[in-house]
Every structure is written in C-alpha cells, then in structure tokens.
Amino acid sequence: MLTYGAKDAKLKQEEFDLLLDDKIDFIQALQMPGTLEKQQAEEITAAQKRKMTLEETRRSLPVYAFREQFIEAVKEHQVLIIEGETGSGKTTQLPQYLYEAGFCKDGKKIGCTQPRRVAAMSVAARVAEEVGCKLGMQVGYSIRFEDCTSEKTVLKYMTDGMLLREFLNEPDLASYRFPQIFLWTDDGTIV
C-alpha cells in the first residue's frame, strides 16, 4: 500500500468548522449602481456616434443621390456600365444598395472584385462595418489562400483571380444574383 501527503490531514480537516456561518444575516440582495453602467452607457453612445458617422458618410457619397435610379436600372436592364470617380462609393455602396433592396433574399450572392488582395480585405471590412455585421458573416472576402466567408455571406469581395476560380467551380455562377451582369468601374474593377 502506498500513501502520500500529510498523515494527519483528515484530523486537521475535522478540526475546522465555519464559525461565522450563522452570524451573517442576508436581509436583501440588490445590486448597487456603479461605474459599470456609466461605462456601458458611454460605450453605447460611442457605438451610436460611430454608426451615425457611418450613415452620414454614406449619405455624403456621390452615388447616394442616384440610389433609387440605380436600383430601377438594375431591375430594367441586363447590362449596366457605371462610371464614377475614385471614392464616389461604387465599390462599397452599390452592392449594399442591391442587398438592402432585397436582391439577396433568395439565397443569391453579390460578388465584387478588387484588383489586389489588400483592397478586397479592406473594402470588405469597411462594408461589414457599415452593414453592422462581423466580417465573414453577411459580408466577406475571398483572396488566394484565405477565404473569410460563411454560408450566410451575401456580399462577397474577391480578387479577379478568385472570380476566375469561381468560374471553374461553377461555370454558370448560379449562386450569384447577377451572373450575367458585371459592372466595370473606371479603374478596371469588375463589380
């Protein structure tokens, strides 16, 4: 038989009783207000301010004035060519307008290509913030060796090479809302 530890451990445990157990009389359990509520309120206001700033920025972009015309044009025409200055909101706003107008309700996706990996990642992060979701959920990106999408992704930003790979896997691009429509922007980006 092998034993270890203190020989009198059982004896010492029995010697100690809780002396104060009957001395504590809990009358009322309540949570006192403290700095946590103030901190949460400040965080909420900061989040609201950030959201308002994003909304104000979206409304100030040149494409915002053409939002309804764009949606109507997509409904009426098979092919659209959108030309706009860099920073006018073509890449970030036009796919969001389609999403907000309900073009993704039937499980289809909207794809948007970017010429470089970093552009695809950063634009997707920005749009995810504007949509109010975690990157990889409703808004994601796909670049070589990295796929930040899920089954819930409806706005997908990708490099041109990844779009070609999508063609190989799905020649008719049936999972996309507009497989026959591609919008070329002034910098050569396909939307």
Q: Model confidence at 180, in pLDDT bands (50, 70, 90)?
A: very low
Instruction: Reduce the DSSP state of residue 190 to 3 states and report it.
Output: strand
Q: Model confidence at 80, in pLDDT bands (50, 70, 90)?
A: confident
Query: How far apart are alpha carbons 101 and 191 in whole angstroms?
Result: 17
Per-residue pLDDT of 129-170, as tens digits, reads 999 999 999 999 999 999 999 999 999 999 989 988 988 888
Per-residue pLDDT of 29-59, as tens digits, reads 555 555 556 676 677 677 677 777 888 888 8
Instruction: Indicate whether 69 pLDDT > 70.
Output: yes
Per the listing, tokens 């700033």 go with 53
Given this model, what pLDDT does residue 129 score? 93
Instruction: Reduce the DSSP state of residue 139 to 3 states and report it.
Output: strand
Higher-pLDDT residue of 174 and 140 is 140
Domains of the chain with bracketed CATH: 59-169 (3.40.50.300)
Q: Could you tell me the sign of the dihedral formed by the alpha carbons of 90, 96, 102, 103, in that order? A: positive
190 neighbors 183 (Cβ within 8 angstroms): yes
Per the listing, tokens 């999508």 go with 166
Average pLDDT over every residue of 90-115 = 91
Q: Which of 97, 93, 111, 98 is nearest to 153 (CA)?
A: 111
Q: Which of 155, 184, 176 is nearest to 90 (CA)?
A: 184
For the entire predicted model, the pTM comes to: 0.67
